[in-house]
Amino acid sequence: GAGVSQSPSNKVTEKGKDVELRCDPISGHTALYWYRQSLGQGLEFLIYFQGNSAPDKSGLPSDRFSAERTGGSVSTLTIQRTQQEDSAVYLCASSFEPKGVYGYTFGSGTRLTVV
């Protein structure tokens, strides 16, 4: 696609429910990143996929968070048993160059609200 597409754009869920956030990167971009942006704060790295390599999961805040990338393209971030502190904007980004040397292209994000 022309840009990084994320869905849904907004998600309101009840505490304790599971949610899935989707990211469709730019075609041909081999690297895909998930970041979280909490209100008034910077971006917090969550997870990084590069080709067929094992993902870098070092930023996932707890075992309730998981992500997968199917066929080297679309990625899904899953949050189980959501908590209020999970409320944030979840941003996906992709890059054609695997080491992130030239920067990322970001999607518009998914705003998650846990009530």
Partner 1 sequence: AQSVTQLGSHVSVSEGALVLLRCNYSSSVPPYLFWYVQYPNQGLQLLLKYTTGATLVKGINGFEAEFKKSETSFHLTKPSAHMSDAAEYFCAVRDNTNAGKSTFGDGTTLTVKP
* Contact flag: residue 107 with partner 1 (CB under 8 A): yes
* Contact flag: residue 43 with partner 1 (CB under 8 A): yes
Decide if 21 contacts 11 (C-beta within 8 A).
yes
The SS3 of residue 86 is helix
* Contact flag: residue 25 with partner 1 (CB under 8 A): no
* Contact flag: residue 45 with partner 1 (CB under 8 A): yes
User: Shortest Cβ distance from residue 16 to partner 1 (Å)?
Assistant: 28
C-alpha–C-alpha distance, residues 85 and 87, integer Å:
5
Can you read off the two tokens belonging to residue 78? 């899953």
Complex with partner 1: residue 12 or 80, whichever CB lies closer: 12
Beta strands at 10-13 and 110-114: parallel, antiparallel or unpaired: parallel
**Binding site residues, partner 1, CB under 8 A:** 4, 31, 33, 35, 41-43, 45, 48, 50, 56, 58-59, 91, 93, 95, 98-109
